[in-house]
Structure 1
Amino acid sequence: MIHYLLQTVAFQLFFLMVYDLFLKKETFFNWNRLYLWATPLLACVIPFIRIERLGKVMPQEYVVMLPEVIVGPGTDRVGEAEVVAAVPLWQWILFAGMVLSLVLFAVKITRIFRLRRRGRIIRKQTHEEVVLPDSNTAFSFFRSIYLGDRVYRKNHRHIIAHELVHIRQKHTVDLLFFELLRVLFWFNPLVYVFQGRMAELHEFIADAKTTGPDKRESYSLLLQEVFKTEKISFVNPFFKSSLIKKRIIMLQKAKSRKIWQFKYLVLVPLVLGMLVYSSCEREEAVPSTEEVSIAEQVRRLKSAIAEKDNMTEEEIEQLMDLNEMVIIGYGGKAGTPLEDKYPALESPSSGPGVPFGEVEQVPVFPGCENADNPRECFQEKMREHIRKHFRYPEQAQKENIQGRVAIMFTIDTGGNITDIRKRGPSPYLENEAVRIIEKLPVMAPGRSGGKVVNVPFSIPITFRLQSGIDTEQTKSRSGVKKSEDRGKVFSSRQPGGEAGYVYGVVRDSDGNNIPGVNISVRGTERGTITDFDGNYKIGARRGETLRVSYIGLDDVEFKVGDHNNYKVVM
């Protein structure tokens, strides 16, 4: 929000500089009036406009939510989140200033009505005159002309004619518009400058409409009567000392030549530059909202893999994240925080092979011989195998050990499982993961180019301990300890966060960060999981709904608001 306010002020400054340098001294009064109306609004609107062709188009971001296989009790209940906003101090100051400005505006309106009640109202066909006792003021407000009785007793015909121009052209609406901007942007001095420019332009318009062929009479009228006037920012006073000199100068000025209207074309490159800036500024951060199926995203990923001759170890590890099994252990205390600094994977001994993602004919898992899609069947059978054979190591539960074990193995040309490599936080978990993989059956080998080939395959297995849940509680969550904060979402502003993204952390009711929590944007395929410290980052915009789900706990849903940081307590 701060960035938006700074942009608005900067754009208004540029528009005001153009007016003062090129347009202010011209006699195109109606054009200038339109300019002063439109440019402050443009400055407020342009930051929201995004034109893809003008912006720096970034590659589309695809976050694929693959199904997570979790061994343990589950539930489909969704808890409505109660969002508790932590409003920063600067927002309190901003709102307090708005309230104060609104109060001052109400005071000014009250002054107008008090003057009206004091005065004697004379109704005319096109307007009404309010004669104020013991006063020499003169100004107009909507259809009312306020005149002091001392002015009214004199020859006030020229004053009435002048104020009628204000009434016919609805100049009060212009000033009230800027008064509204002053309430919303009370901290912005440029709004006050714009209102002042509009007020003096009103006087130029009225003078131009009422001045006859002999301008000397108008000069003398302005010079001989410099009266006191009401200091109200949204009325049109006839006599204002600071404007007298400017009005006389403008009366002396010859009418501008029509060719100078081309000066308004300066707006074109100025607005275009602002649009380019605002488009580039957001396009670098906003995730794509294009609806792309998972199948299409997988196809594109396969194409990208096929174009690479060799894959680095880091790229292979990144691909391992696309097939993750999560194993839940119950009965222990909350596990120790997961670490991301595990031993490096051992090097394979079977030689190079064709990655599973690009092999022409994937290895055939027993039971997939007649499957329409052998690749998907292979992955499903792999998940079923892990569900069937997993056993959380007892020693790991006693020592409260949990973490992710990265497993890579090769299905060789004979269909056997070889070269099992692992990386995990504990030998207990590593050995259990290896035990599960060693139980895989012999398969029909993969083929590529008409030959049998070695096919490397990877799958991360996450071992996670659930805190404080006994055997009975695994059957029902009714026994899970509740807390006042459970199901709540605490929102705040994260300084320096990228626009178009939401950050946060997921914790349990005891204050422990929860890794591996699924975060998804409802109605889209965008999703992520929390890292080892329970932190997450996901592309989401204001108004979209985030769903937070974790095994053994009620799901939480909340809408993204003006803040970009959300702490979820499950």
Structure 2
Amino acid sequence: MPPTLLPTTTAALLSWGLQSTLLLGAGWLLYRYVLRQERFFHFNRRFLLGLPWVALLVPPLLSAAEPGAWLSAWLPEPAAGGSGLLNGGLLPAITVRELSGGPTAGPMPWLLGLYGGGVLTLLLLLASQLLALHRSTRHFTREARPGYVLVRTGGQRPISSFGRLVFWDETAPLTTADARAVLAHELAHVRGHHTRERLLLEVARALLWPIPFVHRLPAALAQIHEFLADAAALRATAAPGAAVAAHPAAPEETATPYPALLARLALASLSPGLPLAHSFTQSFTLTRIRMLTTSAPLRRWKRWLPLPLSACLLLGLVACEKELDNAVPPPPPPTVVSIGSSVEAVQHKPGDPYNYVEQMPQYEGGQEQLLADISKTLNYPAGALAAKIEGRAFVKFTVGADGTIQNTEVQKGVAQNKPGVSKALAQELDEAALNAVRNLPGNWTPGRQNGEAVPVYFTVPITFSVE
């Protein structure tokens, strides 16, 4: 089956959720306890914006890329003569899955319905906030300015911004110099496209709503936006320019220190805010003042910490992607002795097939083609599928000295691996597994021992699973 970015089974969906939680949780903890107190605001902003999308996309991308394939390049090569097989000529397990429709299809539809309902609810809430913002501000007077639109609120709303709109309270007790600093703060939001970033993060929050950490990101990003805007306002007060025409004319006075101005306006603000708008007076005012007045040096080395953390998480996720084979462990191979380049089983009896030989039999197209052909010839019996019978059958066969498949038998059937199931239905699964091996379309090149063609055993585990 070709890889897909979307989970198709309950296990895949839960695995996706678990891996996304680990990624997002690790990233949030790194920001919360390492990066948050530092003043490299642009880096922190990009980190918070990218974190949810990494948590959303990396797990399915790893799954689609089949990380086990490239991870195996770091593992030791199989021993000579092993042909990549497991002990005793045991081939990798093959699983045939069928989707059973109707109300008994398992928890997958319910989980998808619950997830989709949560996403839709948060997106509708976001849409309602946008609509409320539009309705509550559409009657205000607007004035187009270079790069932004000034909206005069007449004291009905506090100074804030949304998109290209700057909501201005003409009744605020501001001098011309103070008004210049406040306007510079709001224009930093406009020019930095902070509203767009905030809305994108809200969409990511809706898509990742089951993960608790994602709901901490919007407030953290809003705080970073305020830090960036405060820095722009400080630059504006350090290099004053023309008076702010938005505010009523007032005699030029000594500008209030920006931290004091921030505290004064925060204490005086009792007007209701606007949904989704960047308000000059935020609830984390004291944090902004502390960041403005701190003289601690920048510890830029912390910006490199996400790299080793990402590497560790990537290796962990790759390990999670490798499915554990729950097959009954095969018996240990017989003791062997090496004489020059030949390998001979000590307990092998003349005429019996071998478990290992110097040159193992080769299927036309290789082992991957063998497993693919078995998967194609497998059919899930209708009776077992209707009764949702699952299980595993170990099919043992011999590749003869002439390259033909011989002595195909079920070494251990579904009923033996899963007691309690109907014997008749279990036999249907066993027979389906036998037919898949018997009807292989490809040809075999026989194995050789001491230069002679010899028969060799193979065993393939075949799992039947209903999703």
Where do 1:323-472 residues align within 5 Å?
352-356=349-353, 459-460=407-408
Q: Corresponding residue for 1:556? A: none
1:220 and 1:359 mapped to 2: Cα distance? 83
**Contact 2:157 2:167 (8 Å CA) reproduced:** no
2:217 to 194, 199, 203: 194
Q: Secondary structure of 2:124's partner?
A: helix
What does residue 158 of structure 1 align with? 181
Map of 2:378 onto structure 1:
none
1:131 to 133, 152, 161: 152
SS at match of 2:142: strand
Letter in 2 for 1:282: E
* 1:32 paired residue number: 44
CA apart distance, 1:250: 0.9
Aligned counterpart, 2:248: none
> What is the correspondence of 1:559-570 to structure 2 with a 5 Å cutoff?
565-566=465-466
| Alpha-carbon offset, residue 166 of structure 1 | 0.8
Structure 2 residue aligned with 1:121: 142
Q: State the distance in 2 between where 1:130 and 1:408 align.
A: 81
Say whether residues 1:537 and 2:452 are aligned partners: no
- Residue aligned with 2:161, SS: strand
Q: Residues 42, 408 of structure 1: CA spacing in aligned structure 2 closer, same or farther, 3 A cutoff?
A: closer
Question: What SS does structure 2 have at the residue aligned with 1:109?
Answer: helix
Instruction: Kindly provide the CA deviation profile for residues 368-405 of structure 1, in whole angstroms up to 9, marking residues without a partner as x.
Output: xxxxx9xx9xxxxxxxxxxxxxxxxxxxxxxxxxxx9x
Counterparts of 1:194 and 1:141, CA distance in 2: 19
Deviation at 1:247, TM superposition (A): 1.1
The residue that corresponds to 1:96 in the other structure is 117
User: Residues of 2 paired with 1:408 and 1:87: CA distance?
Assistant: 38
Matches of 2:286 and 2:58 in 1, distance apart? 36
Q: Matched residues in 1 for 2:137 and 2:100: separation?
A: 50
After TM superposition, give the deviation of residue 109 of structure 1 in Å.
1.3
Considering only CA atoms, is the larger Rg found in Structure 1 or Structure 2? 1
> 1:460 and 1:208 mapped to 2: Cα distance?
77
Q: Which residue matches 2:165?
A: 144
Residue 31 of structure 1 aligns with an amino acid whose one-letter code is: F
Choose the corresponding residue for 1:220, options 244, 257, 260. Answer: 260
Question: Does the 8 Å CA contact 1:54/1:275 hold for their aligned counterparts?
Answer: no
Q: Which has the higher relative contact order, 1 or 2, with Cα contacts under 8 A spaced 6 or more apart? A: 2
Q: Which residue is 2:273 aligned to?
A: 230
Cα distance in 1 for partners of 2:310, 2:167 equals 41
User: Cα 1:530–1:263, aligned 2, differ >3 Å: closer, same or farther?
Assistant: closer
Q: Give the alignment's TM-score, normalised by structure 1.
A: 0.48
> Residues 42 and 215 from structure 1, CA distance in 2 versus in 1: closer, same or farther, beyond 3 angstroms?
farther
- State the match for 2:431 in structure 1: 516
Partner SS for 2:285: helix
CA contact (8 A) 1:115 1:132 kept: no
Contact 1:407 1:461 in 2 (8 A): yes
Matching residue's letter, 1:537? T
Matched, 1:170 2:213: no
Match of 2:311 in 1: 272
Match of 1:181 in 2: 204
Contact 2:91 2:460 in 1 (8 A): no
Structure 1 counterpart of 2:183, one-letter code: I
Deviation at 1:168, TM superposition (A): 0.9
Partner deviation per Cα, 1:162-192 (whole Å, 9 max, x = no partner): 1110111111122112101221122323112
1:327-364, Cα deviation, whole Å (9 max, x unpaired)? xxxxxxxxxxxxxxxxxxxxxxxxx313356999xxxx
* Matching residue of 2:300: 261
SS of aligned partner of 1:25: coil
Name the counterpart of 2:345.
309
Cα 1:17–1:513 change in 2 (3 A) is same
Query: Which amino acid in the other structure matches residue 218 of structure 1?
Result: Y
Letter of the aligned partner of 2:318 in structure 1? S
Match of 2:131 in 1: 110
Residue pair 2:155, 2:172 contacting (<8 A) in 1 also: no
> Which residue is 1:452 aligned to?
none
Matched residues in 2 for 1:134 and 1:222: separation?
18
SS in 2 for 1:516: helix
Residue identity opposite 2:287 in structure 1 = K
Pairing of 1:15-26 with structure 2 (within 5 A): 15-26=27-38
Relative distance call for 1:150 and 1:515 in structure 2 (3 A) is: farther
- State the Cα deviation string for residues 183-238 of structure 1 (Å, max 9, x = none): 11223231121211111111111111111349952123212222235253x43111
Q: What is the deviation of 1:138?
A: 2.2
Report if aligned partners of 1:120, 1:131 keep a CA contact under 8 Å in 2: yes
Partner-residue secondary structure (3-state), 2:152: strand
Q: Is the 8 A contact 1:56 1:280 kept in 2?
A: no
Instruction: Measure the CA separation in 1 of the matches of 2:274 and 2:149.
Output: 21
The CA distance in 2 between the partners of 1:128 and 1:152, in whole Å, is: 22
Q: Which has a greater percent of strand?
A: 1
What is the CA–CA distance in structure 1 between the aligned matches of 2:158 and 2:396, rounded to whole Å? 88
The question of whether the paired residues in 2 share the 8 Å contact of 1:139 and 1:235 is answered with: yes
Amino acid in the other structure paired with 2:164: R
The alpha carbon displacement at 1:108 in A equals 0.9
Q: Name the amino acid aligned to 2:407.
A: I
Change in CA separation of 1:308 and 1:238 when aligned onto 2, cut-off 3 Å? farther
Q: 245, 248, 261: which is aligned to 2:286?
A: 245
- Tell me if the contact between 1:141 and 1:172 (Cα under 8 Å) persists in the aligned partners: yes
Aligned partners of 2:409, 2:286: CA distance in 1, in Å?
82
Superposition RMSD on alpha carbons, in Å? 4.8
2: distance between equivalents of 1:165 and 1:238? 11
Taking only the aligned residue pairs, the percentage that are identical comes to: 19
Partners of 1:517 and 1:109 in 2: CA distance: 58
* 1: CA distance, partners of 2:171 / 2:17: 47
User: How many residue pairs align between the two structures?
Assistant: 329
Runs (5+) with no aligned partner, structure 1: 66-80, 287-305, 313-351, 361-372, 377-403, 412-445, 448-456, 463-504, 539-564
Following superposition, the deviation at residue 90 of structure 1 comes to 3.6
Query: Separation in 2 of the partners of 1:261 and 1:32?
Result: 12
